[in-house]
Amino acid sequence: MTAEAGGIEASRLRVLVVVGSLRAQSATRTVALQAVALLRGAGMAVDVLDLAVEPLPLLNTDSSFAAPGFAALRERVVKADVLVLCTPDYHGGISGAMKNFLDHFWHEFAGKLFATVVASHEKGLTVHDQIHTVARQCNAWALPYGVSFVDKEDVREGKHLSEALRLRLEMLSGDVGTYGALLAAQRRQDLAGTGAGFLARLRPRAEG
């Protein structure tokens, strides 16, 4: 099935880009914002959740889901067809801020596409893997690769991206459009249908 055949064009996708470094001069943020520009350039509707600008208190399952602001944040996650998750490599894993964001949601991720961007000095493979694990636990899909970069080599003077990184981000943006559209079309079809696929349990139940 092509995205067009499924009735969704890449240019109609809704993407949530999450910035998982709280540092003011974060290289992750610089690269994430470049990805935002590319995705918007391709016509996608992009929402940015910068956890430094919109801090999310640590998850407490007694209280977080009723906390002020949670419903609005959840709505943004629900609306997204694709999540682009951008994080620094901390001890071979995702940042605490990113983990905390991911811990707030579960069903909201099901059937959606995750794309990963990692600032690392060592390729960040274990970091991409951790996000892939979260995707699997939450019945989400993930692009089979992630974009990794080295802050001091790929981001010069805090703003200029290396050619290699720019090309990787262009690939990511294109693949978000292509595979995000396919999965969004299928997700909508599955949620509206009667088949027994994994999204069946998330169908809105008829009243009464």
Ligand X SMILES: Cc1cc2nc3c(=O)[nH]c(=O)nc-3n(C[C@H](O)[C@H](O)[C@H](O)COP(=O)(O)O)c2cc1C
Interface residues toward ligand X, by CB under 6 A: 21, 23, 26-28, 88-92, 119-122, 151
From CA 53, how far away is CA 44, in angstroms rounded?
22
Phi, psi (rounded to 5 degrees) for 150: -105, 125
From CA 173, how far away is CA 41, in angstroms rounded?
10
From CA 132, how far away is CA 184, in angstroms rounded?
18
For residue 151, the minimal CB distance to ligand X (Å) is: 4
Residues 6+ apart with CB under 8 A from 21: 27, 28, 29, 52, 86, 87, 88, 95, 97, 119
For residue 22, the minimal CB distance to ligand X (Å) is: 8
For residue 94, the minimal CB distance to ligand X (Å) is: 10
Q: How many residues does the chain have?
A: 208
Beta carbon nearer to ligand X, 120 or 130: 120
For residue 166, the minimal CB distance to ligand X (Å) is: 17
DSSP state of 95: -
Beta carbon nearer to ligand X, 28 or 100: 28
Beta carbon nearer to ligand X, 155 or 184: 155
Beta carbon nearer to ligand X, 84 or 182: 84
Beta carbon nearer to ligand X, 28 or 173: 28
For residue 130, the minimal CB distance to ligand X (Å) is: 12
